[in-house]
Structure 1
Amino acid sequence: MEELAGEAGITVRTLRFYRERKLIPPPRREGRIAWYDDDHLARLRTIAALLERGHTLSGIAELAEAFEHGRDVGELLGLGAPTEETPVRLSPEELADAFAGQATPENFAAALDLGYLATDGTDLIHISRRLLDTSAALVREGIPLADVLAAARRIREHADALAELFTDLALKQGHSTDDLQRLRPLAKSVVEAELSMAMDRRLGQLRGE
């Protein structure tokens, strides 16, 4: 226990508290000896990352329970399932391979916080095949995963604002929610075209044009 606490940068007292709250799984026992492994250390580092992001211990306990019982972390965080995106099931090893060793506890916590990842037993569920593939491609281009996730949070804010703008515009004209579902491809086309032109303008500025 002292060795694990030292590796995690916490006190033994804190570690005991986490065990009592069932934030980490029990150790493997051989007689009077309790053995902790890398999984325990990874869990402690994830807890630390979640605490830094403002999560409470009660909330983290719910996430820990989700890992143990295969509940949906996205549901716990209040995020609904996507209607158009295709979720991807993958193992922790496959996730690590996809991001070239950058699937750190801190990045894992950030992905949980965004609702990109959920759990199903021992597997992980990524909320969107497109987001997974695009994020992995950006990492392969040399952009750190931490920066990709930070950018995703900012993009989420702008995307929410655009969705609110478009839905308010349609609802103001008396359209129903069923109409909004039918009209959403039009909203996506406008956003894609505007983003394309914005990229053109930005590249022109960088080139001094």
Structure 2
Amino acid sequence: MTVEDLANQTGVSVRNIRAYQTTGLLPPPRLQGRLGLYGQEHLGKLELIRDLRQQGFGLEAIGGMLVNTPDGAWSEYSLVTHLFSKSFFTVEPSQRKAMAEMASHWGATASPAQKERLAKNGLYRPVEGDEVEMLSPSLERIGIQLAELGVSLDTVLDLQDDLVRHTRAIAKTYVEQLFLDLIQRMTKDKAPGADASATIDARQIAQMHAVFERLRPLAIGSITAAFPVVLQQEFDNGIKKRLKTGGKKR
């Protein structure tokens, strides 16, 4: 394929294709005289880059992912990102809200520092103007109920930051040790005689989707199942520490 053919087939502009080559994300074409020709490996890799960009990943992050993606598996990974991107693991639709309203339940206006924290914790996505997309409306409703109990906005933000940090670590473990491991196992066994760049067939796609449909509630439910037990243990430990220190924080 020429670069124009590659652009037409993937929907990625010629300019961006050349930019990906310059940054090292995409290998250079094979030269035939002065004409650069692209093959299936370029196509699969570019489709993966395109899909990851559409999910909001930066070029540096994509570069790190590509380093760990087996050669010739670009099409498979592109297919996987398409099947399980955006909303596969979400359990509720997102909602939009003006950033100025985020602190209204505390009878105040969010400070620039508080807005900055909201924008960085990953639960809110900037949309346009002062609006944000709340990716977990349920968590926002919990924050409102905490406000009604007299919990300060800064404390709620602290809790959210800790929640995101720890759940992200758990999610990363699930993704790397369970989901990606299963993808690798299910995509490495291609049909006999298929070349390295061949995509997985419809049967494998259906099988993968069915397995992930079963794994999704198990992964999410495991957090719900373990947290009450750990919460009780930490509450008991916290009470004991306070009694030993005369009620003072340590």
Instruction: Compute the TM-score of the two structures, normalised by the length of structure 1.
Output: 0.51
> Where does residue 125 of structure 1 map in the other structure?
133
Question: Shift in Å at residue 112 of structure 1?
Answer: 0.9
> Where does residue 150 of structure 1 map in the other structure?
158
In structure 2, distance between residues paired with 1:184 and 1:119: 28
Aligned amino acid, residue 149 of structure 2: E
In structure 2, distance between residues paired with 1:77 and 1:98: 34
Q: 1:137 aligns with which of 138, 145, 167?
A: 145
> Where does residue 121 of structure 2 map in the other structure?
114
> Where does residue 100 of structure 1 map in the other structure?
107
Structure 2 portions without partners, runs of 5+: 1-54, 60-84, 188-207, 241-250
- Asked if the contact 1:167/1:180 (under 8 Å) is kept, the reply is no
Superimposed CA distance per residue, residues 25-64 of structure 1 (whole angstroms, 9 cap, x where no aligned partner): xxxxxxxxxxxxxxxxxxxxxxxxxxxxxxxxxxxxxxxx
Question: Shift in Å at residue 139 of structure 1?
Answer: 2.7
- Asked if the contact 2:98/2:131 (under 8 Å) is kept, the reply is yes
- Asked if the contact 1:170/1:180 (under 8 Å) is kept, the reply is no
- Asked if the contact 2:95/2:133 (under 8 Å) is kept, the reply is yes
- Matched position secondary structure for 2:164: helix
- Matched position secondary structure for 1:120: coil
Question: Shift in Å at residue 187 of structure 1?
Answer: 1.1
Measured at CA, do residues 181 and 104 of structure 1 come closer, stay the same or move farther in structure 2, by a change above 3 Å?
Answer: farther
Question: Shift in Å at residue 150 of structure 1?
Answer: 2.8
> Where does residue 200 of structure 1 map in the other structure?
232
In structure 1, distance between residues paired with 2:144 and 2:216: 27
> Where does residue 223 of structure 2 map in the other structure?
191
> Where does residue 62 of structure 1 map in the other structure?
none
Measured at CA, do residues 122 and 107 of structure 1 come closer, stay the same or move farther in structure 2, by a change above 3 Å?
Answer: closer
- Report which of the two structures shows the higher radius of gyration computed on alpha carbons: 2
Question: Shift in Å at residue 122 of structure 1?
Answer: 5.3
Superimposed CA distance per residue, residues 47-87 of structure 1 (whole angstroms, 9 cap, x where no aligned partner): xxxxxxxxxxxxxxxxxxxxxxxxxxx95989x85533322
In structure 1, distance between residues paired with 2:140 and 2:128: 17
User: What is the aligned length?
Assistant: 135
In structure 1, distance between residues paired with 2:93 and 2:104: 20
Q: Which moved more, 1:173-182 or 1:86-95?
A: 173-182
- Asked if the contact 2:95/2:137 (under 8 Å) is kept, the reply is yes
- Asked if the contact 1:77/1:113 (under 8 Å) is kept, the reply is no
Aligned amino acid, residue 105 of structure 1: P
Aligned amino acid, residue 92 of structure 2: E
Overall identity of the aligned pairs, in % = 20
Measured at CA, do residues 169 and 76 of structure 1 come closer, stay the same or move farther in structure 2, by a change above 3 Å?
Answer: closer
Q: Which moved more, 1:186-195 or 1:118-127?
A: 118-127
In structure 1, distance between residues paired with 2:86 and 2:150: 30
For residues 40-55 of structure 1, what are the structure 2 equivalents within 5 Å? none
In structure 2, distance between residues paired with 1:204 and 1:106: 34
Question: Shift in Å at residue 113 of structure 1?
Answer: 1.5
Q: 2:92 aligns with which of 85, 88, 104?
A: 85
- Matched position secondary structure for 1:149: helix
